[in-house]
Amino acid sequence: MKIEGTGKPLGSVQPADARPKPAAGTPPPAGGDKVELSSLSSSMQKAEAAMANTPVSDKSRVDEIKLAISEGRFKIDANRIADGLIDSVRGLLDGQTRS
């Protein structure tokens, strides 16, 4: 199968980054799309900002565990770990069967 051009040149397309952006506070052009954000949107933005500033781990707890390991006081309970893993898998499987 051969695909031939129409002979008409294609117009140039600018990437979204290269398009001019309206100044802040400028009303949208007539007939343009209008976007309204709900109050939930601003709540989500605040929550995202709070999460971004929250550390992923508890540094004092990590330091405590490091010290216990270095002093030989940290005990690993293999049964407790295995039980936790089994519970996690059961939870995942329960979630899949309900879908």
pLDDT 10s digits, 20-61? 666 666 666 666 677 777 888 888 988 998 888 888 888 899
- Nearest CA among 90, 69, 88 for reference residue 80: 88
pLDDT at 35: 77
Domain of 65 in residue numbering reads as 58-99
**pLDDT class for 96, splitting at 50, 70, 90?**
confident
In a domain? residue 63: yes
What's the CA gap between 75 and 81, in Å, rounded?
12
Number of structural domains found in the chain: 1
Note whether residue 74 is domain-resident.
Answer: yes
Report the SS3 class of residue 93: helix
Q: Which of 88, 66, 85 lies closest to 77 in space, CA to CA? A: 85
Is residue 29, in this structure, part of any structural domain at all? no
Please report whether residue 16 resides in a domain.
no
Residue 9 lies in a domain: no
